[in-house]
């Protein structure tokens, strides 16, 4: 089920959405990753360029999503990365968790489009997934609250 941010209209499914019957099967493999980052309060912006891999964890009970690359922010370039867990559901959906196991959000790409919410303290992360083709998907996070007013736009392309 798609989730709507209170006070907003539900997002329409983009015409370009490509249905995916099994999110984990679709994501498995290696992807190039390009991400733009914008702090909407200060106008600061940056980019992340690297790779993302979705592969079984050592225990095979879940999948790991690892990102590695370079982050450029305010003139500084540094190595950056993250790891998330995906727990496959029996219906082709998945639960996404942080590396330490804390819940992040549900993921359902069966229509090719998904909206996720994640409260973090007083901030709210609003994510929009769009599968463009068998080899490309986009993820946009809009974060609002007292600590953050940011937008991140990511494009993943299968390698």
Q: How far is CA 152 from CA 25, 44, 68, 114, in A?
A: 25, 12, 16, 16
Q: Specify the pLDDT at position 59.
A: 87
pLDDT in tens, the chain (159 residues): 333 333 333 344 455 789 999 999 999 999 999 999 999 999 999 999 999 999 999 988 899 999 999 999 999 999 999 999 999 999 999 999 999 999 999 999 999 999 999 999 999 999 999 999 999 999 999 999 999 999 999 999 999
3-state secondary structure of 24: helix
Q: What pLDDT score does 15 carry?
A: 54
**CATH T-level assignment (fold) for domain 23-158:** Lipocalin (2.40.128)
Q: Which two tokens stand for residue 153?
A: 């736009």
* Residue 147 and residue 34 in contact, taking contact as beta carbons nearer than 8 Å: no
What is the residue extent of each domain of the chain? 23-158
Return the closest-CA partner of residue 137 out of 114, 153, 157: 157
């Amino acid at each position: 089920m798609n989730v709507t941010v209170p006070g907003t209209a539900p997002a329409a499914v983009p015409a370009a959405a490509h249905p995916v019957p099994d999110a984990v099967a679709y994501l498995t493999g290696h992807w190039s990753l390009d991400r733009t980052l914008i702090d909407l309060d200060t106008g600061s912006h940056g980019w992340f360029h690297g790779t993302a891999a979705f592969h079984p964890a050592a225990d095979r009970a879940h999948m790991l999503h690892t990102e590695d690359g370079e982050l450029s922010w305010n003139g500084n370039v540094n190595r950056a990365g993250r790891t998330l867990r995906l727990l496959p559901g029996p219906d082709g959906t998945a639960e996404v968790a942080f590396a330490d196991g804390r819940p992040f959000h549900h993921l359902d790409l069966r229509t090719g489009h998904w909206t996720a919410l994640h409260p973090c303290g007083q901030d709210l992360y609003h994510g929009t997934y769009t599968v463009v083709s068998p080899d490309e998907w986009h993820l946009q996070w809009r974060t609002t609250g007292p600590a953050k007013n940011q937008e991140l736009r990511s494009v993943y392309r299968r390698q």
